[in-house]
Structures are given as C-alpha cells and as structure tokens.
Chains A and B, each alone.
Chain A
Amino acid sequence: MSFLQFQGIGKTFPGVRALSDVSFAVRAGGVHGLLGENGAGKSTMMKILGGEYIPNEGQLVIDGQPRAFRSAADAIDAGVAIIHQELQYVPELTVMENLLLGRLPTRFGLVDRGRALAWTREKLDALGVDLDPRTRLKQLSIGQRQMVEICKAVLRDAKILALDEPTSSLSHRETDVLFRLVRDLKAQGKAMIYISHRLDEIFELCDAATIFRDGRKVADFDTLEGVTRDMLVQRMVGREISDIFGYRERAQGDVRLAVRNLTGHAVKEPVSFDVRAGEIVGFFGLVGAGRSEAMRLVYGADRRESGTVAIDGTTLRPSDIRSSIRSGLMFCPEDRKEDGIIGVRSVAENINISARRNHLRAGLFVNDANEARTADSFIQRLRIRTPHRRQEIRLLSGGNQQKAVLSRWLAEKDLRVLIVDEPTRGIDVGAKNEIYNVLYELAERGVAIVMVSSELPEVLGVSDRVIVMCGGRITGQFARHEANEEAVLGRALPEGAAQPSMHSTRTA
C-alpha cells in the first residue's frame, strides 16, 4: 500500500509548464529514487511536497488523506521533511540547540540545559549518530551537519523524508554513515524519496524509481531488479549515450605547466608536477585531500608560502591571478555559485569579463558588438541553453552556468593551461558529456588541462594521467593504462583507513 501518492500533479509558472500530469506513489518502508536531468522537474516536485509551491492541478494523498499544503508549515505538520541541498541550520548554535530549535525545555522560564542535553544524547544514540550535542554546527563537517538536519526531521516525527542530492558534498565515509541511517529509517517504516545524479547510489539504496524529463514522468520502476544503468540513462536523456566519457586518444607535446615545490594553506608538503601540451591530468583525492587548495595556489588565488609555477618555461609572478591569466593559465573554480559565476550579471557579461580587455575600442571603451558576437558564438558552440545572451546567469541550470564559465576562458586568445575543479559537479549526464568534449577539443588544440574531481569514474574515464592526493600531498601517479579504481583509491585513503564501500566508485 502506498503511503504517499502524487496524483496528476501539474505546475505552471508564468509562461512555462514546469510539471504536467505527474503521478507516482511511494511506499512506507521504501526508498524511492527520483531521476532526471537538471530542470526536469524533480526540484519543483519536492517544493510541492514541501509546501513551498502550490500545484495548479492534482493533489497529494498521504496515508489515504488528500492534502493541499498552503505553506511549508502545513507540510511539516503533515509529517513531511525535505532535506535540501542547501541545508537550513543555525551555524552559531550547538547540535542540541539546533535539534530543539523553538522548543527547548524550560524551567521557571529558563532553558533547562540538563534535561535538554540528556534528551538529545538519548535521541542521537537511538539513531546511532555519534555527535557531541554541545558542538556548534559551524564546527562540524558538511556531512555531520546533514546528519543533524536528518535527525531534526526524524525527531519531529516526520513520516515522509525527501533527500535532495544529499551526497554531493560528502566524503566516502560520510556517505556510508548517511546510507546506514537511510536504511535504518527505511526499516522503521518511513517513506523516503531520494534524489541523486549518482546512479550507483540509486541502485544501492532505492527499491523503486521514477524518471522525469521536461516536466513529465517518463518512466516508473516498481523494482530496480534487472534494471540496468543504461536503461535509466537512456530514459533520462531521451537518447542513448553509450559511453559518457567518450575518451579520445591524442598527441602530447612539451611540458606546458611546471609546478615545483608549492606549499601553502592546507598543502603542507611541497607539491610538484608537470602537465604537457595536449595532456589531461586528473587530480583525485577524498574531500579535504588538498587538491582544490593546491590548484588555487597554482592559479594564484591564495597566497603561497613557497614554490614556483611556470608556463612554457616562464615563471609566473606568485599569488597574482592577473599575471596567471595574461600568461595563459586559467581556472574554473569548484564552487560555481560562490566563486564562478556573477549571478546577477548576464550570460554575455560572464563570458566576456576577462577577454574584453583585448577588444577595447580606442583602448578604453567596451566593444559591445564584438562581445555580443563572442557570447552568441559560445552559446551556440557549447549549446548553452538560455533564451538569449542578456539573461541573468543565475537563472540558468548548473550545467549551462558551467559552460558559460568555461567559455570565459575559451574566449581568451592565449589559453595555454586550464585548471577545472569539479567541472561536472551537480550537472546532468548530457551536459557532462558535452563538457568532456570541450576538454578534449582544448587538449587537441594543445592546451594543458588539469581536472580535479571527486568522482573516480570521471577521473579514470577522462584523464591521460592520474595524480592522487591525500592529506595535503601527492601520494601517487598513474598513467592511463595503469590507473584502476583499486590502485587509485588505495593511494587516496589515509594510512590505516578501512577500505570504503565501493558504491560511488563503480565504473559506468
């Protein structure tokens, strides 16, 4: 018997249909996967479940009762908890205070800390979550904060839990803890919805799945027995992608990027490596391994303590982004929203912000006509989905934003080395494939590419060479033919760590 039913849900925003006639059902004691590319309608669906959006058509039925949520509070009252990608907590407060927010036990009008603490300990133990109730949330890792968020939902006695991309910023070990908790909650009879781009996780956790495309339901699986990865991908994208990496062999030239003895924040031991023209080097490591920090040092975004970076034999000025760019070294940062895009500015502005200095009229005035041409040509070439170049970039999907940030550097006439940090995080399968193709094209033109990624299949599938980091130093290097999951992962784990489960490391 289904505990939660979506019946003919439709949602229209001014001028666009976000969802049409979507029906599916979620069992109590089950984990239901929601799949689809970005913009397919999963998030809209979750916002309807969470009471943030009111559907134009259809209804929710919970435990046999038709429900019409008018607000988020209605949904919470009905036992619905949504764990969003962006967590909602108070960083300055402790675990206990966050869990008891708004209902701390009091005595004579004052907070009864003793009772609160005992209660929190008991509940955390019951859930098997190992956290000190007195720690402030800001001192916890992202994974631990998420745990607190889930505990909060469970303690509110939520019957329906929806997790939206919960593992996107978790380490392997945190992911394992999360999965254990999800299975426990399932055993307790909660109805769970699980949204993820990582198909391995869907296979590992979910009993059933629904696939969305363009605001419609395109497939329903009551069981995932006998369902293959390809079947899911094909329905998600509506076409067949046999190998999403599509690796292409290519020639390599001389050393373009030479990094020597680089140290700085979170990079304790000197880091040295080379990248050749036309080569794609993948940097793999667990969260906190120091890859992103090392790349920011190379680019000059953070102050380095020692070491040199040279492009084609010319040493760059230390900690000077502009000198890096002028020498042909460019960087697409990990956190697209915080460090990559300028959200309120247009797609065209985001593309032209750096290269425009080379096209000024009278050495002073921005050449609008030229910039429009540049923007339009990249929008076409990289298939950036936007109504026009003047659209504010924050309104685009993650994949399209990433393509625009890439275009920013492609527009530079002298791109020699490109560092991309987590280029496909939170991006759907189709767009991933397109981004890989951009990287291959650049490499074929002789650009040296460094790709930092936490996705092992991606690192193995795209790189000519793999460099592994752990604890702020380089711990291994593999040529493409020597690199395999076990060997790479072995170097990525801290000494003495247990072998993690292989759920997110299965290859396509």
Chain B
Amino acid sequence: MTDRNTATALDPAAGSQPARRNAALWQFVDDYSLILIFVALFAVLSCTVEYFFSWDNVVGLALSVSQIGMVACTMMFCLASRDFDLSVGSTVAFAGVLCAIVSNATGSVTLGIAAALVAGAVIGFVNGTVIAKLKINALITTLATMEIVRGLAFISSQGQAVGVSNEAFFSIGSAILFGLPAPVWVTLACFVLFGVLLNKTIYGRNTLAIGGNPDAARLAGVSVDRTRIMIFLIQGAVAALAGIILASRMTSGQPNAGEGFELNVISACVLGGVSLMGGRASISGVLVGVLIMGTVQNAMSLMNIDAFYQYLVRGTILLIAVLVDQLKNRRQSR
C-alpha cells in the first residue's frame, strides 16, 4: 500500500521518531481498517446473536454471498478502470434461463452451461466495445444492456421459470467438496484468480493505470480499448457463471432473478475500498466488503429483522463506508 502521508512528500527528513511511529500506526489503521471492522463485527455478532457462530451458519453465509462475491471480483476491475456495469444482474437472470432452456433442449447440461457462458461473454463484449470504441458513457451503455438483457430473459422464458429436468444440473449448486459447497469453492477460486490478475499481471496493472488516467495510460503504450473490452467480456462471463449457479440452486432458470444484484455487487466493492474514480482497488478489500454485506444480512435474518429494514441497514452501511473513505481522502490532501 502507498504511504498516504503528504508531509513526507514535501520533506523526507521531516518528522521526529515518535511522530513517525505515530504516522506508521495511522498508516496501519488506514490500510487495515476494513479488516479490523469486519473482525470486530464478526466477534460482536458471534457473542450477541444466537446461532451466528456455528459452522452451519458460517457456511450458509458464505454460500449466500458466493454469487455476489464472484461478480464483485470482476466488478472490481470494471470500477478500477473507471467504468461501471449495471447489466450484471440481468446477465445473471438471462444466463440461468438460457442454461435451463439449452439443457432441456439438448439433454446436455454441459452444452447448457457453455451456451450461457458464451452468451454472458458476448453481452460483456458488446458492453465493452460500445463503451471503448464508440466512446459511450458506461453508465448509459450498461443501463441500456441491463434492460435489453432482462428483456431477453423474459422473452426466451416467456416470463416463466424454466425448470431443469436433468438431475445433474442441481449438483452444481449443492455439491459438497471437502466440507464446503461447490459455489463457495468457485468464489474462492475467483478471488485467488482475480487477485493474481490484478496484482501480478500487466492486465491488472494496466487496468489500474487506465482508471488512474486513461489518456496518460494510452500515451504510455497501454492498449486502453482492448483492456476495457476484455474487462467487460470477462465480467459478462463471470456474471453468467453466477447465473448458472443461482439457477442450479433454485432448480430453475428464473427471468426475474438477480434484480438489484448489480447494486449489491457495486456496494460490496465500494465498501471494500474500490474507488469509483478509478485507479484504486484491492482484492482483500473486496473480499471483506462482500463478507461485511453478507454478515450483516445474515445476522439480521437470524435476529428476525423484517426484510424491509434490511434495505435500510444496507444503504446506511454503504453511506457510512463512502463517508469514511471521503474523510480519509480529505485528510490526505489537506
């Protein structure tokens, strides 16, 4: 992580020993504040909420955030490059429906999955191409594709949930491997994969550079358009994967699935310290962001808090997270 102390930029020799130790402490709190908050939250809930601290509940929690988690990985890239994607919720629904239809029609779950993944990638490719090549604002572009793809989901399913006849399909969402459900493993794999991509490859570093300053990145030899298209394409495919898993867990492809999903994913990213201004993102932050969202939701359900209030709480948490981030930034630049 970077040293956020402006003071040292002006004069490296500045600051006495205790002052420097103080600064280092602040630095530590800055860098790990989110993790500390999560640990504290988890500890408090474990002590106060009945049934919260049990293996079954924790696994259930992980399962409940698995779809959000895997898409948050790719949304992180999207936000880090200063873009935005509202179409993932619709893609989740469409992929689930398509997977169910193709599986039923061909009798092959593999073909169904392949079709859904390809469709997701195509949606992402269209998003990326329109945004990067035609220079249309990402918000508007993906708002449009969000509507279009949701429409496709309803049209192809004729507005009905599409049940899957093949039993094998259900195992995707329910299989247990080494004590954890398969979707949780997939999500963990996504975190590892995209963490490595972000931090260790040119693709990831260029994503951050584009988000930091697209013009400068281009002049430094970054293929900006290609990278942006790639980010959306991967995002589409991963959203489709989430849609397939969701369909499997619900035993049918539902055209109204994943409504508001895109906002939950973006919230988790922002909560995890990904800057909407681009150029700043960390995979550990996103992981913690996802976990905080899931934990709060889970605890509220256990406490039998009305679902209507959960919206209220989620919004408030997001607002606080953004405010804290803003305050941190302000302290750095003053």
Chain A residues within CB distance 8 Å of chain B: 13-18, 39, 214, 299, 301, 321-322, 325, 331, 333, 338-346, 349, 353-354, 356-357, 360, 364-366, 385-388, 390-392, 395-396, 408
Contacts and interface: CB of A to CB of B under 8 A. Distances in A.
A342 B2 contact: no
Interface in B1-55: 1-12, 14-15, 19-20, 23
Looking at chain B, what size class is its interface with the partner chain? Answer: 35 or more
A396 B217 CA distance: 19
Contacts of A214: 11
Contacts of B2: 346, 390-392
A339 B5 contact: no
A105 B247 CA distance: 64
B188 to A, nearest CB: 21
B218 A360 contact: no
Contact of B5 (A14, A299, A354, A385): A14
11 contacts: A14-B5, A214-B11, A301-B218, A339-B216, A342-B209, A353-B217, A354-B220, A354-B221, A356-B205, A386-B9, A392-B2
A368 B11 CA distance: 27
A360 B12 CA distance: 32
A15 B23 contact: yes
B202 interface: yes
Which 3 A-B pairs give the minimum distances between C-beta atoms?
A15-B7, A16-B7, A342-B212
Given A391-B3, A391-B9, A16 B201 contact: no
B208 interface: yes
B216 A366 contact: no
B279 interface: yes
Contacts of B9: 386-387, 391, 395-396
A319 B24 CA distance: 47
A349 B15 contact: no
Given A39-B10, A342-B279, A321 B219 contact: yes
A356 B204 CA distance: 13
Contacts of B222: 353
Given A14-B5, A340-B216, A408-B220, 12 more contacts: A15-B5, A15-B8, A16-B15, A17-B11, A338-B216, A345-B208, A345-B209, A354-B221, A356-B202, A356-B205, A366-B199, A387-B8
B209 A13 contact: no
Contacts of A331: 219
A14 B220 contact: no
Contacts of A338: 213, 215-216
B111 to A, nearest CB: 31
A353 B221 CA distance: 8
Contact of B220 (A353, A391, A392): A353
Contacts of A354: 220-221
A67 B334 CA distance: 22
A16 B14 contact: yes
Given A341-B213, A345-B209, A301 B15 contact: no
Contact of A388 (B3, B221, B277): B3
Of listed B213, B220, B279, residue having the most chain A CB within 10 A? B220
A364 B215 contact: no
Of listed A39, A299, A301, A364, residue having the most chain B CB within 10 A? A364
Contact of A321 (B3, B202, B221): B221
Nearest to B26: A14
B150 interface: no
B200 interface: yes
Nearest to A388: B3
B200 A366 contact: yes
Interface string B169-202: 0000000000000000000000000000001111
B202 A13 contact: no
A390 B3 contact: yes
Contacts of B275: 344
A342 B217 contact: yes
A31 B138 CA distance: 50
B280 interface: yes
Contacts of A333: 216, 219
A13 B200 CA distance: 35
Of listed B199, B209, B221, residue having the most chain A CB within 10 A? B221
Nearest to A396: B9
Contacts of B156: none
Nearest to B214: A342
A20 to B, nearest CB: 12
B223 interface: yes
